[in-house]
A and B are shown apart, each in its own frame.
Chain A
Amino acid sequence: MRSTPRSNLASVHAAGDRGRHFVANRLLLLAMVGGIAVAARLFSTSLSGGVVLCPLHGLLGMPCPGCGLTRAFCCLAHGQFATAAGYNPLCFLVAGLGVAGAAISIAELFLRRRLTWYGFFFNGKLARALAAGVITFTLVRIAMLACSGELFSAYIRTSWTYRLLAGS
């Protein structure tokens, strides 16, 4: 195995690069969160019958972990929390993290330094526990949809592959 001196990496990390990334990353995060919030507020909460944009859902007719988040965010933006939970309960977690991330980004841009107190977001064990929760939630949701028969009817209604095969 070959070792590479950190001096090579030092030449990559010119002070200007890191400074540019520091600002750009936070501005991008703010633009993303702000854009989602504005779009969710502008769109109607009665979203149904639209084009399926998710490639997983389009190909397989199966819900991915984020299925329903778009509609859920729209409902959250209109204060319809119960309806949002019905579309995808993960919306509260994702929205909460988004708001927290935006607040931290604003603080760091103002202070011009990286804060250290949110180091737990870089904890691998926390991430694995969260991943296990999300995967379990998705599998349970798929199982419930399958048992209720909604999974197959949704596949017929929305899947690109079924429409292609059925010739419609």
Chain B
Amino acid sequence: MDMVDRKDIPVFKMEPVLVLILGLVTCGLYLIYWNIKAAEVLNKVAGREVISPVVAVISGCCAPVHIYYYYLCGQCLPDLGALIGRPEIKDQSILLLILGIFFPMVAAMIVQGHINAIYAEK
């Protein structure tokens, strides 16, 4: 039986508010780094390459690609939910896509919040 171990997931834990602040203060440059790291974690959680790291970089430059990036992030959330024992976490692609259009920073904070749950001690 294949095992998904939390130890294999890269550590990327930070306060969602900090993502917002750093994203604004660095004029979006921090978000390029954040996109890459979040993609790395979510791809590991999903066990397959859902989000291309190159798309993650370009999404920091181009709004439509950014929206598409959040759409892909939403597809990894059921895997994340299964990993942390919370099967109620469903595919949130559409929600994150809509948030990515109107409130992209909120979408980033939601994704970071879900990622933080991976490292929460029980």
Which A residues contact B (CB, under 8 angstroms)? Answer: 1-9, 11-13, 21, 25, 28-29, 32, 35-36, 55-56, 59-60, 62-66, 69, 90, 93-94, 97-98, 121-124, 126-128, 130-131, 134-135, 138-139, 142
Contacts and interface: CB of A to CB of B under 8 A. Distances in A.
A142 B55 contact: no
A69 B59 CA distance: 12
Interface residues of B toward A: which range? 35 or more
Interface of B: 1-7, 24, 27-29, 32-33, 36, 40, 47, 49, 52-58, 60-65, 67-68, 71-72, 75, 78-79, 82-85, 105, 122
A1 B5 contact: yes
Given A12-B79, A94-B58, A130-B54, A63 B27 contact: yes
Contacts of B53: 121-124, 126-128
B29 A32 contact: no
Contact of B4 (A9, A63, A94): A9
Contact of A8 (B60, B71, B82): B82
Contacts of A59: 24
B4 A28 contact: no
Contacts of B33: 131
A44 B105 CA distance: 30
A3 B3 contact: yes
Grouping DSSP codes into helix (H, G, I), strand (E, B) and loop, the A interface class, with mixed when no group exceeds half, is helix
Contact of A121 (B2, B29, B32, B52): B52
**Chain B interface, >50% SS class:** helix
Contacts of A60: 24, 27
25 contacts: A3-B4, A4-B84, A4-B85, A6-B1, A7-B1, A9-B47, A25-B72, A29-B68, A32-B64, A64-B27, A64-B61, A65-B61, A69-B61, A94-B65, A121-B55, A123-B53, A124-B40, A127-B36, A127-B53, A127-B57, A130-B54, A131-B36, A131-B60, A135-B32, A142-B27
A134 B57 contact: yes
A6 B8 CA distance: 14
A90 B52 contact: no
B61 A3 contact: no
Contacts of B54: 97, 121-123, 126-127, 130
